[in-house]
Amino acid sequence: MKTDLECFPCFLKQTLSAAAVAKMNRNQTQKAVKEVLNILKDINMELPPPLMGRDIHNIIKKISENPDPYKELKNFQNNTALKLLDELKNEIAYAEDSFETAVKFSIAGNAIDLGTSTTVSADVKDSFKNALAKQIDKAEVSKLKKEIENSKKILFLADNSGEIIFDIPLMEYIGKEKLTVAVRSNPIINDVTLKEAEQCKISSMFKVIENGSDLPGTWLDECRENFKNEFESSDLIISKGQGNFETLSSLNRSIFYLFLVKCKVIAKITGQKPDTFIIQKI
Amino acid sequence: MKTDLECFPCFLKQTLSAAAVAKMNRNQTQKAVKEVLNILKDINMELPPPLMGRDIHNIIKKISENPDPYKELKNFQNNTALKLLDELKNEIAYAEDSFETAVKFSIAGNAIDLGTSTTVSADVKDSFKNALAKQIDKAEVSKLKKEIENSKKILFLADNSGEIIFDIPLMEYIGKEKLTVAVRSNPIINDVTLKEAEQCKISSMFKVIENGSDLPGTWLDECRENFKNEFESSDLIISKGQGNFETLSSLNRSIFYLFLVKCKVIAKITGQKPDTFIIQKI
């Protein structure tokens, strides 16, 4: 997708929130905002928003002199999510439709703010209850199930820390023989890199590859050869999160997208309301 | 108050929403956004946000070649509010504390989106019911009542169209002998100017003066002499809306502010949560 003018306020919000995560002081934050404004005024709007997202986070990394400002947050999110995993698996085991529930948890992982408390708060548990009560397109769920069964080689494009733990039941359903999980090559926001995939043991459960990029999305122009080969040769691609959707949606390649609609721009493109759980092959 | 970095995303949102009201096309909107970005990168953050607000709306007026893009909306808001006035006055007449209810309606006027339907929708009526259920600081309400009774000359700084209709019960409580209502001199957003005050008959009910400015606030440096004299010589000043608060709060003059906390920046300054009804002498 192209960048929309409606993305502009959001770029500045991202700058401020990333500056806060990087514990930047007021002067550093102001410097970052000015640099972002300078880039924004000459932005190429034909390119998808995650390219500007990368510029923003590069500015934050440079000014804070921290190559991975979200490091602690990523650990926290994975650890918190791991504490919930047994409970989720239990819910799935006893669900009327285990596959649909696994899919819902995977999309919910894209939606839920895991908070900042070291114990799993009642709010987080409530968020999961709400996620289970959400409607998703049952026809698309059946289609995904069928495609998983009929595919020999499935590529799963992972998204954030924390979220990836909630993808485990779906990944286990697919099975490690068929599955390759792709992660970013360099730290960007709270996206999973190989380091987090190792820390939370995903890499010992499934085959994990790096995509070669530091974008909060999957922009093939910048991805490494072995990732592109995997992308081309897979029978089915499952893509998690808005960033992957934003960077892939204009490709001439059919992909199963799983994400929460987080903004008005994506709502307009998908024809769904914000906060909708999207499962759609496009 | 000074401008906060948190205001920056909001400036861009304002630009986009004003461009939509002015029915600007994509190219015009993009041009407006670029001009706003150019001003933003050199903004003087020592000044309050409504000064940047004026710059934004001047850009919109220039590009849309429309000196008053909110004209229709202002008429609509006043007409819709007028349809509700008798009902509100009835509520006030039968309320346990009529003065407190009049104050609540005045602040609610700052909060309620009157929608776009030509009939008064159930949503708008629900908003008013919610407003009546809101808590406000009863000690400050009593203080305002006492000060109104003890003052001989009261200046009321009006804010938006629509909202001003909901101020009428409070203005009537004050009484036309004591009261002067101040409005902006030139169109800015949906703020009331003399034209709207005349259209909705406020100017035939009360003494109305212009403040000499086209800012969405009250910035004394730019106000005309007769307004400044009124400001200095009044025993009590009642200020409606965030814009007036933002431009007046650093003055060395005690003012009674009535508004809804609409953003995180004002929440931080007032120590209140967003969506709180503020009645406070500062």
Beta bridge pairs of residue B154: B179, B236
pLDDT at B113 over 80: no
Residue whose tokens read 């799983």? A258
pLDDT (0 to 100) of residue B110: 86
Tokens of A157: 């494009």
CB of A95 within 8 Å of a chain B CB? The answer is no
| CB < 8 Å to A9, chain B | 9-10, 12-13, 16
pLDDT at B120 over 90: no
Split at pLDDT 50, 70, 90, the class of B105 is very high
Q: What is the ipTM of this complex?
A: 0.88
- Find the residue in B nearest to A30 (Cα): B5
pLDDT in tens, B168-224: 999 999 999 999 999 999 999 999 999 999 999 999 999 999 999 999 999 999 999
Percentage of chain A exceeding pLDDT 90: 89
CA distance B173 to B176: 9
pLDDT at A169 over 90: yes
Mean pLDDT of A1-25: 96
Residue B236: Cβ within 10 Å count: 20
CB B164 within 8 A of CB B218: no
B5/A33 CB distance under 8 A:
yes
CB of A251 within 8 Å of a chain B CB? The answer is no
Of B13, B26, B37, the CB nearest to A37: B37
Beta bridge pairs of residue B155: B180, B237
pLDDT at B130 over 90: no
pLDDT (0 to 100) of residue A116: 65
**Backbone phi, then psi, for A13, in 5-degree steps?**
-60, -45
Split at pLDDT 50, 70, 90, the class of B116 is low
pLDDT (0 to 100) of residue A125: 81
pLDDT (0 to 100) of residue B50: 97
Among B residues 164-203, those touching chain A with beta carbons less than 8 Å apart: none
Residue whose tokens read 């009863």? B138
Of B12, B34, B45, the CB nearest to A12: B12
pLDDT at B85 over 70: yes
B33/A5 CB distance under 8 A:
yes
- Within 8 A by CB and 6+ apart from B182, the residues are B155, B156, B157, B158, B208, B209, B210, B211, B218, B227, B230
CA distance B108 to B167: 9
Identify the sign of the CA torsion B256, B247, B218, B192.
negative
pLDDT in tens, B227-280: 999 999 999 999 999 999 999 999 999 999 999 999 999 999 999 999 999 999
Mean pLDDT of A239-244: 96
Percentage of chain B exceeding pLDDT 90: 89
| CB < 8 Å to A8, chain B | 12, 16, 33
Split at pLDDT 50, 70, 90, the class of A246 is very high
CA distance B8 to A16: 10
CB of B235 within 8 Å of a chain A CB? The answer is no
Tokens of A222: 């910048």
Residue type, A114: L
pLDDT in tens, A49-93: 999 999 999 999 999 999 999 999 999 999 999 999 999 999 999
pLDDT at B121 over 80: no
CB of A40 within 8 Å of a chain B CB? The answer is yes
Higher confidence at residue B153 or residue B127? Answer: B153
Mean pLDDT of B31-36: 97
How near does any CA of chain A get to the CA of B121, in Å?
22
CA distance A85 to A169: 9
- Find the residue in B nearest to A9 (Cα): B9
Q: How far is CA B246 from the centre of its chain?
A: 11
Of A6, A16, A37, the CB nearest to B16: A6
pLDDT (0 to 100) of residue B127: 81
Q: How far is CA A147 from the centre of its chain?
A: 21
CB of B41 within 8 Å of a chain A CB? The answer is yes
- Within 8 A by CB and 6+ apart from A240, the residues are A106, A109, A110, A156, A157, A158, A159, A163, A167, A258, A259
How near does any CA of chain A get to the CA of B43, in Å?
10
CA distance B25 to B45: 30
pLDDT in tens, A181-222: 999 999 999 999 999 999 999 999 999 999 999 999 999 999
pLDDT (0 to 100) of residue A111: 82
CA distance B210 to B223: 9
